[in-house]
Amino acid sequence: MNKAIEGESPGDRSDELEAIARSMLSALSAVRVWSLSLHDEHGDVLWLNESVMGPDEHEAVRASLEIFAGEGAPERHEYDLGDGRVAVTLRAAYGSSVLGVAMLIVDHKAAMTANLTLQEPLAKFSRWLSDDLSATQLRLRALPEIAAPALELDLSLEEELTATLELLAPQTLAAAAAAPQPTLTPAPALAPGAPVRAAPVDPALDRHYAALRAQPIVLYAQQLEPMTEGNRIRRFEILLRTGSEHGRSKAPTAMIEAAAKHGLGSVVDRRVITDLVVWLARHPEAWRTDPINVSVNLSPTALVDPHFFKFLDLCLTKADLPRGMIAFELDAALCAQSPARTAEAAQLLAALGCTIILDDFLMQPAHVDLLELKGLRMLKLHRQLTTDIGADTRRQAVVAGIAQMARVLGMHTCAKAIESREDLRSLAALKIDFAQGFGLSMPMPLADLAGAPGK
């Protein structure tokens, strides 16, 4: 029975999607279509005319999202499912941003000979995705507004974002004081248009804020090394380094620890995002031809600070970067302490076109429960699962199980802190997608990314 999947859009939007799917099937009436499914930019199923999708079908969607990323990507991809069946996926996009995927399961002969382009209904599906006003986006708009600074039209993106960043200082301090790290504290519900109450600022907190703003930093990028084929997107984790002349290769550990101690983690987050977004906007040559995904570690403070999401919205709107380029790494153990708030934050990030990486993942019930987070695209395994794994068959079984689970869910997996080539071979055999470690790829200044060759 044809149906819209749970999580469908409110109002008549599901009816529109149903009509689009039926028009696709009608256009293919001369071809035997085993199944048709429509997916969003995260690979989540929006519509399916069968009761269930198998692991191979999920893998076909995951592979297609990789192939379709960036400018110059193909409009169609074929994935051999075996038994004479082929998954034909069609790209639904706006510019260089992939908005979704339509997948047809057909016989191999039909894939070779039939016209499966579906231009008109696919264009309608793209418009449906781009026009969709989800409850998530409405929730984002209901958050407290950021007062817009009076800016001249000739100000640069960096100057504009920096001015707004400075303007956020009082709200940042108030939010941070109400939600100290390391425990996630659920934020109070925010009614649309609710006034922002000014909170008194502790002078000591104000001094720590000023110190964080004054600390020079530079951004480095460490590449995640692919261990499987078909990965068109180059993936990097953004790392913080001191900006002093003699300390460019040193992580500002003291600054990060001080920010965490005083509940000012989101201040560091905003600085990183500002510098990163400005650099990406100024250097499209780093991602236009060979698409990239850059991930930023997000502090728990940011998850309970509504102004953070407004600031992120401002950054991404001003920079006009392709959706899916920026990801945020969330610590699995901290997220498990406040799953409801984490789920709400994930919805907001997904609405802004950002993806999520769950860091230090373990096969624990509390961590497994987080797999439903919207926009979750990668699991970074805790190093206790992957270090010296070669002779440990129990851990090999656990890692292989996580890898298979992630594939069914349309996610990637990454092993961290890998230095041994033996571990690398073992993890590749277990179907882990990426490996990260100083022995594989040393962090490089973000500025060097513009000249880094695609892989």
Residue 115: other Cβ atoms inside 10 A: 11
- What is the structure's pLDDT at 451? 74
Specify the higher pLDDT residue, 36 or 250. Answer: 36
DSSP state of 285: G
- Asked if 124 and 143 sit in the same domain, the reply is no
Specify the higher pLDDT residue, 31 or 8. Answer: 31
- What is the structure's pLDDT at 365? 96
Lowest-pLDDT choice from 46-55, 231-240, 394-403, 410-419: 46-55
- What is the structure's pLDDT at 201? 47
- What is the structure's pLDDT at 110? 82
The CATH number linked to 284 is 3.20.20.450
- What is the structure's pLDDT at 265? 63
Specify the higher pLDDT residue, 137 or 444. Answer: 444
- Asked if 407 and 428 sit in the same domain, the reply is yes
In angstroms, the CA 163 to CA 157 distance is 10
- What is the structure's pLDDT at 114? 73
Contact indicator for 298, 257 with CB cutoff of 8 Å: no
In angstroms, the CA 397 to CA 383 distance is 15
- What is the structure's pLDDT at 67? 93
Average pLDDT rounded to a whole number, residues 380-404: 94
DSSP letters spanning 241-283: EE-STT-TTS--HHHHHHHHHTT-HHHHHHHHHHHHHHHHHH-
- Asked if 319 and 393 sit in the same domain, the reply is yes
- Asked if 128 and 145 sit in the same domain, the reply is no
- Asked if 85 and 178 sit in the same domain, the reply is no
- Asked whether the predicted pLDDT for residue 199 surpasses 50, the reply is no
- What is the structure's pLDDT at 307? 79
Instruction: Classify strands 434-435 and 444-445 as parallel, antiparallel or unpaired.
Output: unpaired
**pLDDT tens readout for residues 75-107:** 999 999 998 999 999 999 887 789 999 999 999
- Asked if 297 and 188 sit in the same domain, the reply is yes
- Asked if 95 and 152 sit in the same domain, the reply is no
Phi, psi of 342 (to 5 degrees): -65, -40
Lowest-pLDDT choice from 55-69, 104-118, 140-154, 293-307: 140-154
The CATH number linked to 27 is 3.30.450.30
**pLDDT tens readout for residues 417-454:** 998 888 899 999 999 999 999 888 899 999 898 876 65
In angstroms, the CA 422 to CA 396 distance is 13
- Asked if 144 and 122 sit in the same domain, the reply is no
User: Taking all residues of the chain, what is their mean pLDDT, rounded to a whole number?
Assistant: 80
Average pLDDT rounded to a whole number, residues 58-85: 92
- Asked if 257 and 374 sit in the same domain, the reply is yes
Phi, psi of 378 (to 5 degrees): -155, 145
Percent of the chain with pLDDT over 90: 46
Domain count, the chain: 2
114, 132, 150 - which closes a domain:
132
- What is the structure's pLDDT at 18? 94
Percent of the chain with pLDDT over 70: 73
Q: Is 218 strand, coil or helix?
A: strand
pLDDT band of residue 303 (cuts 50, 70, 90) is confident
- Asked if 214 and 143 sit in the same domain, the reply is yes
132, 147, 162 - which closes a domain:
132
pTM for this structure?
0.82
- Asked if 223 and 124 sit in the same domain, the reply is no
- Asked whether the predicted pLDDT for residue 189 surpasses 50, the reply is no
Average pLDDT rounded to a whole number, residues 159-164: 57
**pLDDT tens readout for residues 327-343:** 999 999 999 999 999 99
Q: How far is CA 117 from the centre of its chain?
A: 29
- Asked if 101 and 144 sit in the same domain, the reply is no
In angstroms, the CA 227 to CA 379 distance is 15
DSSP letters spanning 343-407: HHHHHHHHHTT-EEEEEEE-S-HHHHGGGG-TTEEEEEE-HHHHTT-TT-HHHHHHHHHHHHHHH
105, 132, 159 - which closes a domain:
132
Range of the domain at 166: 139-451
Specify the higher pLDDT residue, 416 or 147. Answer: 416
pLDDT band of residue 252 (cuts 50, 70, 90) is low
In angstroms, the CA 310 to CA 322 distance is 18
- What is the structure's pLDDT at 123? 93
Specify the higher pLDDT residue, 173 or 214. Answer: 214
